């Protein structure tokens, strides 16, 4: 085993910064996908062993600590430390780490624990009794991670049928704010059937009650091609520069929006093809589900730079 092969086995790019968060994320996902207890493929055992060996090699190589303290679940942490290859241990650890620590996600975690530990027919019965908003979130999680969780397409279709029945009288409205709207914390006045709702545009989705039915408001920002926003409202901008272009100026001006330009000093850059520059807490407002109009906590801006040696 070597560093390059270990990264390849865990689908980690050589240009990625290898953090304990990234390593554990890739390990959990791939270990569950190829776990011999769930994957019937004849090569699953060999693939699973490769994943395990690669994970242990990189943990030792980077001198990372093998702990898992999400939700402060001490019993599971000890379980994880003592038996990392157990399917149930891996699964619970994976579920905890795809859910952020708020009260709603604790509920989702407990529901997911139930349905992954039972047969599909019993799981469908459990899900049919789940409140609509939680069912929507659960479906999104299950659909996104279906290969890792080993749910069948038929199971997903049955969840969709339950969900469609629950939301048949609801309405979905999609807004397309600009990136300047997000930086300026702009609000949108939405009028539906005599009701007025004030929508904070930096949120991804909000649900409003309208005479017993729900209105789902999704904000899909209209972003430049080189910019994406992650699920924590951090902005990632990808830029490409010519080396000669950089050496002829003292700093780079990076346009993020019409009113937001970032300055990167030349001496900050390294002589390497790919690198990332972090502007901590200089981005758009993070989402606060307890106070949707709170703008006190800002996200980060990550500038991903590719340097080309061209004439």
| Same-domain check for residues 209 and 266 | no
User: Does 210 score more than 50 pLDDT?
Assistant: yes
Domain residues for the domain of 214 are 171-219
pLDDT tens-digit map of 154-180 = 999 999 999 989 888 888 899 999 999
Distance CA 33, CA 20 (A): 20
Distance (Å, whole) CA 303 – CA 277: 5
Same domain, 18 and 137: yes
Same domain, 159 and 181: no
Q: How many domains does the chain fold into?
A: 3
Say whether both 125 and 193 belong to one domain: no
Are residues 20 and 52 both part of a single domain? yes
Q: Please state, in angstroms and rounded to a whole number, the distance separating the CA atoms of residues 113 and 179.
A: 38
Question: Is 199 found in the same domain as 149?
Answer: no
State whether 154 and 79 are in the same domain.
yes
Give the per-residue pLDDT at 197. Answer: 95
Q: Are residues 92 and 148 in the same domain?
A: yes
Average pLDDT over residues 192-212: 91
Overall pTM > 0.75? no
Domain identity same for 115 and 258: no
Share of the chain above pLDDT 90, in %: 44
Which residue would you say has higher pLDDT here, 286 or 250? 286
CATH code of the domain in which 247 resides: 2.60.260.20
Stated length of the chain? 311
Domain boundary among 219, 248, 283: 219
The answer to which of 72-81, 110-119, 228-237, 280-289 has the lowest mean pLDDT is 72-81
Residues 161 and 176 both lie in one domain: no
**Residues 15 and 29 placed together within one structural domain of the fold:** yes
65 lies in the same domain as 122: yes
Tell me the per-residue pLDDT of 79-91, one tens digit each, with 9 for 90 and over. 444 556 677 788 8
**Residue ending a domain, choose from 129, 149, 166:** 166
**Which of 148, 166, 184 marks a domain boundary?**
166
**What pLDDT digit, counting tens, does each position of 264-278 carry?**
998 888 888 888 999
C-alpha pair distances (Å), 82 with each of 50, 89, 90, 92, 150: 19, 10, 12, 14, 24
Q: Which of 34-43, 46-55, 241-250 has the lowest mean pLDDT?
A: 241-250
pLDDT in tens, 221-238: 999 999 999 989 999 999
Q: Once rounded to an integer, what is the mean pLDDT over residues 184-212?
A: 92
């Amino acid at each position: 085993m070597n560093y390059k092969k270990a990264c390849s086995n865990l689908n980690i790019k050589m240009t990625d910064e290898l953090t304990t968060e990234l390593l554990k994320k890739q390990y959990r996902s791939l270990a569950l996908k190829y776990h011999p207890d769930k994957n019937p493929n004849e090569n699953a055992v060999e693939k699973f062993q490769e994943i395990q060996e690669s994970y242990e090699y990189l943990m030792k190589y980077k001198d990372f600590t093998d702990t898992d303290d999400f939700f402060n679940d001490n019993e599971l942490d000890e379980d994880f430390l003592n038996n990392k290859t157990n399917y149930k241990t891996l699964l619970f650890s994976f579920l905890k780490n795809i859910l952020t620590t708020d009260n709603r996600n604790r509920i989702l975690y407990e529901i997911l624990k139930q349905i992954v530990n039972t047969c599909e027919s019993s799981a469908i019965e459990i899900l049919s009794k789940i409140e609509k908003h939680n069912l929507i979130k659960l479906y999104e999680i299950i659909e996104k991670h279906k290969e890792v969780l080993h749910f069948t397409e038929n199971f997903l279709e049955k969840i969709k049928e339950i969900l469609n029945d629950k939301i048949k009288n609801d309405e979905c409205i999609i807004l397309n704010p600009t990136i300047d709207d997000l930086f300026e914390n702009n609000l949108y006045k939405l009028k539906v059937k005599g009701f007025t709702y004030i929508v904070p545009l930096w949120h991804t989705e909000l649900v409003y009650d309208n005479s017993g039915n729900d209105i789902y408001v999704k904000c899909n920002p209209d972003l430049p091609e080189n910019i994406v926003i992650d699920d924590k409202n951090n902005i990632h901008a990808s830029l490409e520069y010519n080396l000669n272009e950089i050496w002829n100026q003292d700093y780079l001006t990076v346009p993020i929006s019409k009113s937001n330009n970032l300055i990167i000093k030349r001496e900050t850059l390294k002589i390497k093809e790919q690198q990332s520059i972090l502007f901590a807490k200089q981005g758009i407002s993070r989402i606060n589900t307890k106070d949707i109009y709170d703008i006190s906590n800002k996200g980060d801006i990550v500038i991903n730079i590719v340097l080309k040696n061209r004439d």
